[in-house]
Amino acid sequence: MRRIKILFFWIFVNRNNVSFHELWRFLFKPKLAGIASRYISKVEEREDYEVTFRNISEPLFWPKSFDTNRLNQVICETFDPEDWHYYQKAHTEIADGERLLDIGTAEGLLPLTVAEKCDHMYLVEPSRIFYQTLQKTFSKFEKKVTLYNVAVGNEDGEIPFDENSLDGKVATAGTSTYNISILKIDTLIGDNKITYLKADIEGFEAEMLKGAEQTIKTNKPKIAITTYHLQNDPNEIISIIKGFVPEYNYYVKGIYELTPKPVMIHFWI
């Protein structure tokens, strides 16, 4: 059903830079588990799951309280260049010496794959569960990794947070598990230099960007940002970023199955 909906959107609504050949490959590609199995070497059950890969040297720790089936999606988004959620498309590849700001890093697989080449990585994750496994995953890289267990938005303060979902999110009435700090990116990063901004924060991307104005204006980083969540307006995100730095180039990529929104937007100077 998902593939049929995307085919419908491609034909009748919006192609979002998906060519016919890309659509064809998508419609007949293996399921996520089949693609992910190409990259996984083994999964060992310890205090948390320890996942080793064929194509990177360091293991990833995955929380035992979260279903490992979701890891398949993360692996495809990180390693499969044909996945529409793939961050390192043309113009937004992570190069040697980058200073990466990963907002909504979750399990941290993307930064783990580029840890050796990056000069420094700032990883932002509001979930306490993921934050604990991130500390294990990046223990070898502690000198070049700064971890933040906070939410980000257009204000500094405190918000209720719902940890009962793998997609940790701001809590609604009756669902709060605890309060967490929320900071603007401008507050969080301050005068630190960044060259690459990746963001996937469950529909709060626009609010995050409003709090990152000075960071983006000063650093003009490459940006790879998700835009498919139901709360997102891709045109608003483009307007915000181009409003900060008019010379940004950009392109949209992918089709979301619930709406014809693009999955990602990539920005570069």
pLDDT band at 1 (very low <50, low <70, confident <90, very high): confident
Confidence check: pLDDT of 171 > 70: no
In this prediction, residues 89-95 reach a mean pLDDT of 97
Residues 44 and 53: beta-carbon distance below 8 Å: no
Residues 147 and 125: beta-carbon distance below 8 Å: yes
What value does the mean pLDDT of the chain take?
94
Confidence check: pLDDT of 216 > 80: yes
Among 189, 194, 186, residue whose Cα is nearest residue 221: 194
Residue 109's pLDDT is what? 98
CB neighbours (10 Å) of residue 223? 24
Confidence check: pLDDT of 68 > 90: no
Furthest C-alpha separation in the chain: 50
Distance CA 70, CA 46 (A): 18
pTM over 0.85: yes
Residue 157's pLDDT is what? 96
Strand pairing class (264-268; 222-226): antiparallel
Both tokens of 219, joined, read: 């650093």
The CATH fold assigned to 2-268 is: Rossmann fold (3.40.50)
Could you report the per-residue pLDDT of 236-268, keeping only the tens digit for each? 999 999 999 999 999 999 999 999 999 999 999
Distance CA 118, CA 121 (A): 7
Q: Taking the domains of the chain in order of start, what are their residue ranges? A: 2-268
Strand pairing class (157-162; 178-183): antiparallel
Give the three-state DSSP class for 204: coil
Both tokens of 193, joined, read: 């230099």
Residues whose CB is less than 8 angstroms from the CB of residue 249 and which lie 6 or more positions away in sequence, other chains included: 91, 267, 268, 269
HEC letters along 92-104: CCCCCCCEEEEEC
